[in-house]
Chains A and B, each alone.
Chain A
Amino acid sequence: MSLRPEDVQRIAHLARLAITEEETQRTLAQLNDIFGMIERMRAVDTEGVVPMSHPLGGAQRLRADAVTDVPDRERNLANAPARQDGLFLVPRVLE
């Protein structure tokens, strides 16, 4: 399969990236190269191989359910461009 320029535009939009026409063309070529590699890999017989979800082996380590972190709100809000009443302020979002 190969991508069209509209696909690249859509992916960019979903990631909220503004890309120029020239960038779209360049990215399209790169992504299609990657799809080409994937096509080649698909030819390998993977019957019975467990899909890999992480490059490292092993399993997730778990922590005990305990409150160990009391956040410093003042510090965490210090870099916010706008704040009020302990809230981060952002441009108005309406559903």
Chain B
Amino acid sequence: MARNSQSDYTGWQVVIGLETHAQLSTASKIFSGASTAFGAEPNTQASVVDLALPGVLPVLNRGAVERAIRFGLAVGATIAPRSVFARKNYFYPDLPKGYQISQYEIPVVQGGSLACIVEGKGFEPYAKTVRLTRAHLEEDAGKSLHEDYSGMSGIDLNRAGTPLLEIVTEPDIQVDDIEQAASEAVAYARALHSLVTWLGICDGNMQEGSFRCDANVSVRRPGAGLGTRCEIKNLNSFRFMHQAIVYEAKRQIDLIDAGDRVVQETRLYDPDRDETRSMRSKEDAMDYRYFPDPDLLPLEIDAAWIERVRAELPELPAAKRTRFASAYGLSDYDAGLLTADAATAGYFEQVVAALPPGQAKLAANWINGDVAAAVNAAAGSIATCPVDAARLAGLLVRVADGTINQKAAKEVFAALWSGEGATADAVIESRGLRQISDAGALVAIVQAVLAANPKSVEEFRAGKEKAFNALVGQVMKQSRGKANPQQVNDILRDKLAG
């Protein structure tokens, strides 16, 4: 039903706020001592507290609170000295208590903001800051399995009680272009993902549901009051998030254009059909009848604890990016790529430390180029890259000192990746890739090539620069790629002029 032409949707502003559930990386649950490990046999990690058996009481996990503090400090928020847990009441079979323990009136993290770089088609990248409303601690629910269990639903409560930090933004994304609005939402989500994994408070695995973004989307005429919003769920990749927001904004505009109105509801994104579908009307569900949980006393966080956590904070992505750009003379773009996640930044710093001074740009080019391409192609991560920082540094040392040229370096990299040699030097020796920089040897090759290609020589002398490149190619071929290209150029020019 959504129209395809972008031009039909001009004159509308898309407004987006985001709610993200980040699963905290604790070993045990937020209120029980059961494990949070992913993928266990059903219900083997559901303790009596998670099952809500009568007489059990929740005991709050210090590790979950500490992670919330880390997050709050990293986004410049206020850490509430006193916050309160509340019961959010609703009925669903994967919620055994009949309520979710959450925080309502007084959340642990208040305010703060997150900066991101917005990139997309049709506009230059720009910086954007999204204000956070709050972040609060809560417990996850279990999982309902709707496959066929003799006509019934299966309930696995392993996930019940897993600690979550729900991070809520202000509706700060307000853009007159649908695609760009979606790009801003994705930029925020990527920055948040990068931050929580950087801080080590969440593993960020979107497929396993460790990082779940919901988008509140509404549309309005610029300058008008906020429109009715719909909450879009099931955005389990950044690409789907972009597509879902674009679809939803168009759907709402189409509705209003047709004289209908948008109904406030939760909608599920279906990536197979690229559409959002109504999940449940919020009319009933909205009334959660929150009240303070009498099983839990207020959470108090003293200044000393906050300062202790602050002292242990790693250098944050934005600070590291600025430092990389200034200390290593990198472009902001390169520095941004290198600081997209903690593993890449650490890898880069290890490589640079092992190289002679002045080679940071070489390292950045390789890591953002060949290494990133190989890691992506293997759907792996830099942390498990077979060419570790020491090996890459060993390779780049040989590029920097002229032992091998760029072409041979790519060959060495591929060999190291496949495990052919333990070090770059070993591969260079075994494959005989050492660059020929011996002038005598190169002159001999050049003379042989000139003698064998009189036509190209003639063409070059007649002013065809293309012929020169053909001759360079021949020399490189004769040297089996090992000639120093700059030297080949010089010698060729010299001989042709003579």
Contact = CB atoms under 8 A, between A and B. Distances in A.
A12 interface: no
Interface string A47-82: 000000111101111111111111101001100001
Given A14-B289, A71-B46, A87 B154 contact: yes
Contacts, number: 136
B51 A94 contact: no
B47 A54 contact: no
B326 interface: no
Interface string B131-173: 0000000000000111001111111110000000000000000
A71 B369 CA distance: 48
Interface stretch (B10-18, B33-41, B345-353): B33-41
A91 B92 CA distance: 11
Nearest to B106: A53
A35 interface: no
A66 B27 contact: yes
Contacts of B64: 65
Range of interface residues on chain B? 35 or more
Contacts of B44: 71, 73, 86
Contacts of A56: 297
Given A63-B59, A88-B154, A53 B33 contact: no
B362 interface: no
B309 interface: no
Contact of A93 (B27, B48, B82, B92): B92
Interface stretch (B183-191, B279-287, B437-445, B459-467): B279-287
A87 to B, nearest CB: 4
Interface size class of chain A, counting residues whose CB lies under 8 Å from the partner chain: 35 or more
A41 interface: no
A13 B339 CA distance: 52
Given A54-B292, A84-B154, A93 B146 contact: yes
B151 A92 contact: yes
Contacts of A89: 149-150, 152-155
Contact of B300 (A14, A59, A70): A59
B222 to A, nearest CB: 35
Contacts of B340: none
Contacts of A21: none
B316 interface: no
B63 A64 contact: yes
A90 B284 contact: no
A94 B51 CA distance: 22
A17 to B, nearest CB: 11
Given A87-B145, A88-B154, A59 B65 contact: no
A93 B144 contact: yes
B423 interface: no
Contact of B43 (A59, A71, A94): A71
Contact of B33 (A54, A69, A77, A90): A69
Contacts of A93: 92-93, 144, 146, 153
Contacts of A86: 41-44, 156
A95 to B, nearest CB: 6
5 contacts: A59-B300, A63-B33, A64-B62, A73-B41, A88-B154
Interface of A: 14-16, 53-56, 58-71, 73, 76-77, 82, 84-95
